[in-house]
Structure 1
Amino acid sequence: MPPDAVNLLARQGGPASLSERTLGKAREVLSGRKHAWRNALAFAGPAVVVSVAYIDPGNFATNIEAGARHGYALLWVALLASLMAMLFQALSAKLGIVTGHNLAELCRMHFSRGTVLGLWAVSEISAMATDLAEFVGAAIALALLMHLPLLVGMA
């Protein structure tokens, strides 16, 4: 966010979630007065959370299997998906900084109730599908390592 945007937020009172401390830290980072490694530490927490969610054991095993079967033929897919994920993360972060609301809150404010419920349903189904893949992957790992039945591994 450019420094003038931070000053504009401060003059307008900013979103309710931006405290004076947050605005002060934003001004310090944007002015370059702090050391580069300290600036990087401010972003380390969210980066760790995203990396844990993005590169989980099931995903890691799938990537190894795909690499063993197809070599570098599908590398463009990984590159494109990573670039799109970075774009969406950056846009969501900017939206949150400027408005003080997360993406779900803004959807609720700007879309009809039916559209919001549809978006919620798609998000929930996507989360369930991801969780199901994780549980099945863990059950298969337990079955291979401890000779447990799949249903026991899923419990």
Structure 2
Amino acid sequence: MNATARTADDAGRVLRGERRGSFRILPFLGPAFVACVAYIDPGNFATNIAGGSKFGYTLVWVIVAANLMAMLIQTLSAKLGIATGKNLPEVCRERFSRRTSFALWIQAELIAMATDLAEFLGAALGFHLLLGIALFPAAIITAITAFLILGLQRFGF
């Protein structure tokens, strides 16, 4: 049984009331940690600091509005998943035409790439600032680290 199946099995036992104690919430924290990476990554910090140093409090409303919209979308997606047992892309595939579903998929991939690019550049900038190395070697270190972490999936991490 792989790690994903074990986590799903543990979550099912919690929901059925078979597992009690203060650690019963742990199977549900994985997705929460993945979702919070979008808010607490080096690229986000670097962008916010650079924007704040250049524009002061002029654009703080953009950060507040973006966070409120993100919370709304995540809440609605969670409610959709609880009500239907399906995630947002599955429901979109059922409700929309093949062409619209394909366009939504392309949009989601582009958004994921933009988010990953900001995180990648933020990590490279972090290596640059912490280790005092040039940005290109810092980017290479970041890429190697990312591939090593992705390689750990084979072992259930």
TM-score normalised by the shorter chain: which range applies?
0.5 to 0.7
Choose the corresponding residue for 2:15, options 4, 22, 37: 22
1:149 to 132, 136, 148: 136
**2:44 touches 2:118 (CA, 8 Å); kept in 1?**
no
Q: Is the 8 A contact 1:108 1:116 kept in 2?
A: yes
Q: Larger Rg: 1 or 2?
A: 1
**Which shifted more, 88-97 or 43-52?**
43-52
Contact kept in structure 2, 1:140 and 1:150, CA below 8 Å: no
Tell which deviates more after alignment, 62-71 or 49-58.
49-58
Task: Verify the 8 A CA contact 1:95 1:103 in the aligned structure 2.
Answer: yes
Matched, 1:78 2:67: no
Q: Structure 1 residues 74, 148: closer, same or farther in 2, change over 3 A?
A: closer
CA distance in structure 1 between the aligned counterparts of 2:83 and 2:16, rounded to whole angstroms: 12
Q: Return the TM-score normalized by structure 2.
A: 0.64
> How much has 1:51 moved relative to structure 2?
1.8
Kindly report which structure 2 residues correspond to 1:29-40, keeping only aligned pairs within 5 A, or say none: none
How many residues align? The count is 129
Range that drifts further, 43-52 or 88-97: 43-52
Partner-residue secondary structure (3-state), 1:101:
coil
Letter in 1 for 2:134: H
Structure 1: how far apart are the matches of 2:127 and 2:137?
Answer: 8
Identity %: 54
CA distance in 2 between partners of 1:103 and 1:87 (Å): 14
Q: Which of 1 and 2 has higher RCO (CA within 8 Å, sep 6+)?
A: 2
Q: Does the 8 Å CA contact 1:107/1:116 hold for their aligned counterparts? A: yes
Gaps of 5+ in 2: 1-10, 144-157
- Root-mean-square deviation over aligned CA pairs: 3.4
Gaps of 5+ in 1: 1-17, 26-36
